[in-house]
Structure 1
Amino acid sequence: MVARSKSSSTPSARVLLVDDNRAGLMARSAVLKELGFATDGAPNAQQAMEMFRKDPYDLVVTDYKMPETNGVELIEQLRAEKPQTLVVLISGFVDALGLNEKNTGANVVIMKSANEVQQLIRAANRLLKIPRKPPTEERPSPRVRVRKAGS
């Protein structure tokens, strides 16, 4: 269950981001923070595990290709300590390596692409069960005509 911040009804889920690429880490953090998530970042699996052991996280988002320990190995470590951990694996090698939810242990596997941000947002919201509000600007409100008697 995701806690709600006291200042609003915005979700304040804690997300641990793991990526050795600082730019990728900062970009994902900025997007998730804008949506109301609290994020922490780790540049490698070892530091991620240290942070994971100290603080509770609602979701872990990890890159696949990192030095020393890859994302799948990190997922194995996370699950060994807390089997119900929600994890999103992001990789540019999804197709080449045949990465999927079944063989990685991740709840969601996302291919790095132009659609990565939208897929990450959808995955985080779905995994954390955050209800989406229907877009009010795109849908015109239905108009009901009321006829007066005799018209």
Structure 2
Amino acid sequence: MRAASLRILLIDDNKHGLVARRTVLEQLGHKVAVAAGGQEGLDQFAAHPFDLVVTDYRMPEVSGQQVIRKIRQQSPQTPIVLLSGYVDSLGLSEQSTGADMVLSKGPTEVQDLLRAIERLSRRRIPVKRAAAAAAGAPSRARKPKAG
């Protein structure tokens, strides 16, 4: 099963990794934006809605941990995948980072990322509905009748 087309933000200071991930995700029909660092990623996230964010952990200036924290403040429902070459050595986990999934960079990285995106896309809130909820717009969901 393949995830529906998503708006994905990739954040990493390694440009080669960004290009490789972007190419694969675009070939699968996703709309992908890339940011070459944490602050650039936060700026893009503030300017545009995304269905999912994939961020590196170790980046100069603004770390992946800071990116996760700030995105959670702005949009708690947005799924976030943390990619790092330091998962084991730093003991990174979903609980310690606040990410929805933590993946190791390496030989199976692309396959692991595709599985993570598929899994997280099943439980996502569509961007338009999430934006409307954040703006205080009334929900179109029907309330159950009392009685």
TM-score by length of 2: 0.80
Which residue in 1 is equivalent to 2:33? 40
- Distance (Å, rounded) in 2 between the aligned partners of 1:47 and 1:68: 11
Equivalent residues of 1:59, 1:85 under 8 A apart: yes
Which residue in 2 is equivalent to 1:123? 116
CA offset at residue 107 of structure 1? 0.4
Give the number of the structure whose residues are more often helix, by fraction.
2
Which residue in 2 is equivalent to 1:58? 51
Which residue identity is paired with 1:51?
Q
- Distance (Å, rounded) in 2 between the aligned partners of 1:104 and 1:10: 25
2:86 paired with 1:96? no
Which residue identity is paired with 2:18?
L
* Identity rate, percent: 48
Equivalent residues of 2:3, 2:121 under 8 A apart: no
Which residue in 2 is equivalent to 1:135? none
CA RMSD of aligned residues (A): 1.5
Equivalent residues of 1:88, 1:108 under 8 A apart: yes
Indicate the SS of the match to 2:54: strand
Indicate the SS of the match to 1:17: strand
Indicate the SS of the match to 1:106: coil
Where has structure 1 moved over 4 Å in runs of 4 or more? none
Deviations along 1:78-137, whole A, 9 cap, x unmatched?
00111111100000000000000000000000001111110000000110029xxxxxxx
TM-score by length of 1: 0.78
CA offset at residue 11 of structure 1? 2.3
CA offset at residue 35 of structure 1? 1.1
CA offset at residue 76 of structure 1? 0.2
Tell me how many residue pairs correspond in the alignment.
122
- The structure having more radius of gyration, on CA atoms, is 1
